[in-house]
């Protein structure tokens, strides 16, 4: 497989450093992160040499399998309390399923707290909110407890469900995708929203769709 070597100064500025100062409307703590260690939801480190992924990997990473108007595949995953939760158990209710890169990273913390701060609006719309990442149940439990998250977090270790749903990655698949799905009470996807760099936009776009259902 061909490879491409890039010196560090070719990396975008936002990959080399970032700052995280995300206030919460409830004055709850948000993570403070040293520079060069995390980036918008990924525990990230870079090397002067970057390999170009194979074409088959790129196809898997870029093209989503779940789209608007489709019915996504069912899953059963463990929540933050170690209990099995299936997508099918929410049948008859609107469901918001959001995939995020990792617990305790700046963008993911900001996104989770934004869902938390708008949670009453989701309840009013009759919707269930479910967050999914590759972290284990104990990580989810600590994350939910620290930020007082009132919704379910599911552990997709090995990213099996992420792959089945075709959640696209960023930067040639090196950064796990941040994608939100709104599923109506009949199990049909009404929104697929992807925005890695503006985590709070997921909440705004999701509520717009829910209020129109």
Known catalytic membership, residue 108: yes
The structure tokens listed for 192 are 């697929």
Closest among 39, 183, 184, 172 to 108, alpha carbons compared:
39
Q: What is the pLDDT of residues 123-154, one digit of tens each?
A: 999 999 999 999 999 999 999 999 999 999 99
Tell me the mean pLDDT in the region 85-90: 97
CA distances from 67 to 86, 145, 155, 183 (A): 20, 33, 22, 11
Question: In sequence order, what are the residues at sequence separation of 6 or more whose Cβ sits closer than 8 angstroms to the Cβ of residue 68?
Answer: 189, 190, 191, 192
CA distances from 37 to 32, 138, 143 (A): 11, 22, 18
Q: What is the pLDDT of residues 12-71, one digit of tens each?
A: 433 434 434 444 444 444 444 444 444 454 444 444 444 444 433 333 344 448 999 999
Q: Which of 40, 85, 95, 108 is catalytic?
A: 108
């Amino acid at each position: 497989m061909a490879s491409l070597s890039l010196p560090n100064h070719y990396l975008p500025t936002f990959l080399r450093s970032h700052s995280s100062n995300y206030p919460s409307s409830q004055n709850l703590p948000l993570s403070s992160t040293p520079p060069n260690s995390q980036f918008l939801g990924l525990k990230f480190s870079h090397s002067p040499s970057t390999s170009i992924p194979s074409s088959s990997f790129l196809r898997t990473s870029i093209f989503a399998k779940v789209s608007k108007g489709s019915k996504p595949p069912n899953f059963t995953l463990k929540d933050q309390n170690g209990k099995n939760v299936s997508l099918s158990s929410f049948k008859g209710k609107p469901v918001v399923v959001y995939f995020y890169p990792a617990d305790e990273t700046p963008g993911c913390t900001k996104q989770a707290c934004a869902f938390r701060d708008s949670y009453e609006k989701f309840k009013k719309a009759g919707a269930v909110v479910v967050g999914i990442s590759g972290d284990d149940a104990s990580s989810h439990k600590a994350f939910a407890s620290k930020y007082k998250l009132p919704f379910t977090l599911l552990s997709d270790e090995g990213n099996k469900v992420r792959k089945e749903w075709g959640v696209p990655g960023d930067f040639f698949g090196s950064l796990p995708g941040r994608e939100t799905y709104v599923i109506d009470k009949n199990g049909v996807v009404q929104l697929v929203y992807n925005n890695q760099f503006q985590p709070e936009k997921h909440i705004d776009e999701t509520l717009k769709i829910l209020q129109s259902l």
